[in-house]
């Protein structure tokens, strides 16, 4: 276990500012998720921590030691990538044990460590199989077991679940969280899947154009966004924005409810012109406009709305977030 401190980290590739001054502290045993759109610098930041890239500026400190000049193998980190990169001709045992074999560890010690990692990931019964004879979810667990077998101080994972289908992915996510808690390994995890970020992260760092725009608990990222980028990027469907008297008002689709469901006091009434309704079973999405603003309302009321209808909706003041239209930063009361 270890803490990781990134101080002013930059990585520029001939004019491309892939990572542009990042300060982050990741605590001992913490699960930190890097979430951001494509090209925001998530993978580059991971590769910098891993030692696969050299920073243009700043310091990477693991457990109090600056590791900028240490090769990857001496940093006490392990990585799991999207492509599991298993050796096809080695058995599951051969794959998991590989990092230990390379170190020249005695066979009996290797066997114990492989059994420990395989047991943790629930793949102890697959040790004699070849990767081609196991499922995608099992391959992913072999890759994680291989990463853990050397008991790394820090585990880095770059979209490790993205090759799995939706159902397996959900189970794999729960298992991942459980074993991470169990062995308490400091983890940095890259994804652009919001549900994964919210479900897994103790904290989420939202990245955009090589910088961290906000870091906080899933709850605070969603409910207390510091700027319009975070407000608009986190949440599906995204936050609604409306300009009013030189201020941008933001409110979540689930805060925009049919007016009859809300009290008059402290709630703003708004006429919504319906363009389209999606009935998703448990709830309904109403797409439409309020004045010039395109909005989405997400509610579970049995209202029979259709294209062209005008209906009064409302949003209450505690649900409103105010942003500066020039800077996009949050305006605090
Ligand atoms: P994705 O979610 O698509 O994987 P990402 O957030 O991981 O994206 P990066 O892969 O870190 O983003 O890329 C950040 C920026 O740096 C992009 O503009 C990318 O084109 C650029 N970049 C990354 N690696 C290199 C490289 N080796 N040479 C030049 N530019 C690079």
Please tell me if the CB atom of residue 40 comes closer than 6 angstroms to any atom of ligand 1. yes
For residue 3, the tally of other CB atoms under 10 A from its CB is 17
Mutate to test the pocket of ligand 1, among 12, 14, 15, 16 (most ligand atoms within 8 A of CB): 16
Is 200 within 8 Å of 157 (Cβ atoms)? no
Rounded distance between C-alpha atoms, residue 324 and residue 331, angstroms: 6
Q: Which atom of ligand 1 is nearest to the CA of 14?
A: 29
CA-proximal residue: ligand 1, atom 21 (nearest): 18
Q: Which atom of ligand 1 is nearest to the CA of 46?
A: 11
CA-proximal residue: ligand 1, atom 29 (nearest): 13
Say whether 255 sits in a helix, a strand or coil. helix
Please tell me if the CB atom of residue 41 comes closer than 6 angstroms to any atom of ligand 1. yes
Only one residue has tokens 């979209």, namely 159
CA-proximal residue: ligand 1, atom 28 (nearest): 13
Q: What is the pLDDT of residue 50?
A: 94
Please tell me if the CB atom of residue 192 comes closer than 6 angstroms to any atom of ligand 1. yes
For residue 320, the tally of other CB atoms under 10 A from its CB is 15
Please tell me if the CB atom of residue 211 comes closer than 6 angstroms to any atom of ligand 1. no
Q: Which atom of ligand 1 is nearest to the CA of 19?
A: 14
User: How many residues in total does the chain contain?
Assistant: 333
Cα of 192 from ligand 1 centre, angstroms: 14
Q: What is the pLDDT of residue 237?
A: 93
Cα of 40 from ligand 1 centre, angstroms: 7
The DSSP annotation for 73-128 comes to GGTTEEEE-SS----TTS-HHHHHHHHHHHHT--HHHHHHHHHHHHHHTT-GGGTT
Give the domain ranges of the chain.
Answer: 4-228, 238-323
Task: Indicate the Cα dihedral angle 107, 112, 116, 121, nearest 10°.
Answer: 40
Mutate to test the pocket of ligand 1, among 42, 50, 53 (most ligand atoms within 8 A of CB): 42
Q: Which atom of ligand 1 is nearest to the CA of 41?
A: 11
Rounded distance between C-alpha atoms, residue 173 and residue 114, angstroms: 22
Cα of 188 from ligand 1 centre, angstroms: 17
Is 228 within 8 Å of 248 (Cβ atoms)? yes
Measured CA angle at 190 (ends 188, 194), to 5 deg: 120
CA-proximal residue: ligand 1, atom 22 (nearest): 18
- Mean pLDDT of residues grouped by 10 in the chain (333 residues)? 94 94 96 95 95 96 95 91 86 94 92 92 92 89 90 92 81 86 92 92 97 97 96 94 95 95 90 95 94 94 90 96 97 87
Please tell me if the CB atom of residue 162 comes closer than 6 angstroms to any atom of ligand 1. no
Is CATH 3.30.930.10 correct for 4-228? no
Cα of 207 from ligand 1 centre, angstroms: 12
Q: In the numeric block, which tokens belong to residue 291?
A: 């004045």
Q: For 238-323, CATH number?
A: 2.40.50.140
Q: Please name which of 199, 204, 231 lies closest in space to residue 217, comparing C-alpha atoms.
A: 204
Q: In the numeric block, which tokens belong to residue 45?
A: 């930041």
Residues paired with residue 224 on neighbouring β-strands, in sequence order: none
Please tell me if the CB atom of residue 53 comes closer than 6 angstroms to any atom of ligand 1. no
pTM over 0.75: yes
Residue 107 phi, psi (nearest 5): -60, -40
End-to-end CA distance of the chain: 41
Cα of 35 from ligand 1 centre, angstroms: 14
Residues paired with residue 153 on neighbouring β-strands, in sequence order: none
Please tell me if the CB atom of residue 54 comes closer than 6 angstroms to any atom of ligand 1. no
């Amino acid at each position: 276990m270890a803490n990781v401190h990134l101080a002013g980290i930059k990585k520029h590739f001939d004019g491309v500012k892939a990572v542009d001054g990042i300060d982050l502290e990741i605590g001992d045993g913490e699960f930190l998720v890097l979430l951001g759109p494509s090209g925001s610098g998530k993978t580059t930041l991971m590769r910098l921590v891993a030692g696969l890239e050299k920073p243009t500026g700043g310091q990477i400190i693991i457990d109090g030691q600056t590791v900028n000049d240490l090769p990857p193998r001496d940093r006490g980190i392990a990585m799991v990538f999207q492509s599991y990169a298993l050796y096809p001709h080695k058995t599951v045992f051969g794959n998991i044990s590989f990092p230990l074999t390379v170190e020249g560890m005695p066979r009996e010690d290797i066997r114990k460590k492989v059994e420990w990692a395989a047991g943790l990931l629930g793949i102890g019964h697959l040790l004699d199989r070849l990767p081609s004879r196991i499922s995608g979810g099992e391959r992913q667990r072999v890759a994680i077991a291989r990463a853990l077998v050397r008991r790394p101080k820090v585990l880095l994972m770059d979209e490790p679940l993205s090759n799995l289908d939706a159902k397996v992915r959900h189970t794999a996510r729960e298992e991942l969280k459980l074993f991470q808690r169990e062995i308490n390994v400091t983890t940095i995890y890259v994804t652009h899947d919001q549900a994964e970020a919210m479900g897994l992260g103790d904290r989420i760092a939202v990245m955009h154009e090589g910088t961290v725009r906000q870091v906080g608990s899933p709850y605070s990222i969603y409910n207390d966004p510091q700027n319009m980028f975070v407000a608009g990027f986190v949440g599906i469907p995204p936050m609604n924005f409306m300009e009013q008297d030189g201020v941008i008002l933001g409110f979540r689709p689930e805060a925009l409810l049919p007016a009859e469901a809300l009290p008059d006091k402290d709630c703003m009434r708004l006429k919504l012109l319906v363009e389209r309704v999606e009935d998703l079973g448990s709830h309904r999405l109403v797409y439409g406009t309020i004045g010039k603003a395109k909005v989405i309302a997400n509610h579970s009321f049995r209202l029979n709305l259709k294209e062209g209808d005008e209906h009064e909706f409302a949003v209450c003041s505690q649900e409103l977030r105010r942003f500066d239209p020039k800077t996009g930063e949050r305006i605090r009361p």
